[in-house]
Structure 1
């Protein structure tokens, strides 16, 4: 479950890229549809499991934190991730988003006014070097990825930082399903109001409709459920390691089906960025980190 969930996340990014390039689907339309229907599915499941899904609104502080998490974390990362795919490609967008642990290291080091631990510093160096190789493919005179794709990818990583740090108290108090479900649904309603997807002329054929259904049902709702369910059997740190399957999946499927260009430099860069996850796993085992983040598991877009 911890492996198949990230596999579905990575697959949905490639499917979304195909929708943007060949089905005339806009980022705003797919984001609104994805978040709304995923939120409904997750909340229905939470209600079936006898969770009091309304209790989060009984406390004003929790409700305010949920709104902050929804706007700056959930909705921000969903939009920026799809924009990174639309302006670049799914493989690069997913890998750039994996820079979020490095951003968290730098942010928490600055907040605590102390230098990162040795392994954290190594993580930063490896991630920056790997990202440079990915976006340049070893050439210093040009970028292999459009600047807009790089910027949106970095914004997706920044959104993932908020996505990781903001909901910790909520997850510990109310559980993952209600928090993620409400955040998805509220974010979906916000994007519905802002982008008015019903007014956009989207004409899907049967394959396109199947791809949209895959992104919503399997690439989002099912992926979350599998990953969260896996945390009942294995540690969150182990699940995070298995989560490295997500960028690998996006990269491999992008190379095979979407014709994403790659050479030995970009492959090395991809491996370096993903390796940061394993370096952080070693750091986690050796000593307490600056911030353990979400002890109940990493949430992924």
Structure 2
């Protein structure tokens, strides 16, 4: 198996496992009394312990540097609270109040939020492709939220609130760890951030009664923790060693695709034609941001001159 194929399989597999965890959470929320805070606490604490343990064995000096240097610790705490904890909790709340496909697609508004934030912070107009992305994303959101009708909402205000918050949190999740990821292993950074987030949420494990779950439900909780968090993270981060970030960005579309397929086929979730159009438009912005447009245009111009 060549490097490109290996990278594609790892990225697509990681994104698919992520998408599956959204559908698993939707099933648990609709059939049990499981609490969002309890599920996220279990997910982050368990995955955090496992990934940090792996990092301590693989690169103990990196874990030491991340936890003992004040500057690194400040970045790590900001990422853990504003990025990791924020994005995980709001994503599951969005799933609870809508469904896995909708929550996952709204989360993909994060590139647009990053574009707007960078434009405001750097005080310069976005590129033309960025402006096109913003317009497409807004039209997609309109179709997803209203079903194409100005006088109706297909999403409840609560679902829309948590979905948009989740997109903002996902943007923070992308931007905050950058200073750390330039110098340290991604697995160590994410593992420690999950561990810190899980410790912060630990009180919920004692104040919220443990839900009454069947053996099948516990298997789903186990999948969300191990498959949908630990394996998905590890696979997706490893894929970057073999393929470019732009390709991994495109393959991340497997996440909403799998979430939608599982929710529609197994959970009976209905997607209206307008919701499908809106979802595809929002995902299109991810492709536009991932494709190196300058290289494509240069290649097209070169071929034109050649002919």
- Alignment TM-score, normalising by the size of structure 1: 0.91
Match of 2:3 in 1: none
SS at match of 2:241: coil
Find the residue that maps to 1:114 and give its secondary structure.
Answer: coil
**Deviations for 1:199-250, whole angstroms, at most 9, x for unmatched residues?**
4241111111000001001011000011111111111121111111111111
CA RMSD of aligned residues (A): 1.3
Distance (whole Å) between structure 2 residues aligned to residue 226 and residue 17 of structure 1: 23
Equivalent of residue 109 in structure 2, options 75, 95, 99: 99
Give the equivalent residue in structure 1 for 2:15: 6
Decide which of 251, 255, 271 is 1:262's aligned counterpart.
271
- What residue in structure 1 maps to residue 286 of structure 2? 277
Mapped to 1, the partners of 2:200 and 2:27 lie a distance apart of 25
Q: CA deviation at 1:140?
A: 2.3
The separation in 2 between residues aligned to 1:68 and 1:76, in whole angstroms, is: 10
Corresponding residue of 1:118: 128
Do residues 143 (structure 1) and 126 (structure 2) align? no
Unaligned runs of 5+ in 1: 288-301
Q: How does 1:20-31 map to 2 (within 5 A)?
A: 20-31=29-40
Q: Is the 8 A contact 2:140 2:281 kept in 1?
A: yes
Contact 1:134 1:266 in 2 (8 A): yes
- The equivalent residue for 1:42 is 51
8 A Cα contact 1:28 1:197, kept in partner: no
Report if the CA contact (8 A) 1:29-1:197 is conserved: no
TM-score by length of 2: 0.90
Alignment partners' CA distance in 2, 1:249 and 1:75:
23
Larger Rg: 2
4+ aligned runs moved over 3 Å, structure 1: 196-199
What's the counterpart of residue 294 of structure 2?
A: 286
For structure 2, the 5+ residue unaligned runs are 1-9, 296-307
The size of the alignment, in residue pairs, is: 285
TM-superposed CA distance for 1:51, in Å, is: 4.0
SS in structure 2 at match of 1:3: helix
Tell me the distance in 2 between the aligned counterparts of 1:38 and 1:92.
25
Counterpart among 115, 118, 121 of residue 108 in structure 1: 118
Q: Which has the higher helix share?
A: 2
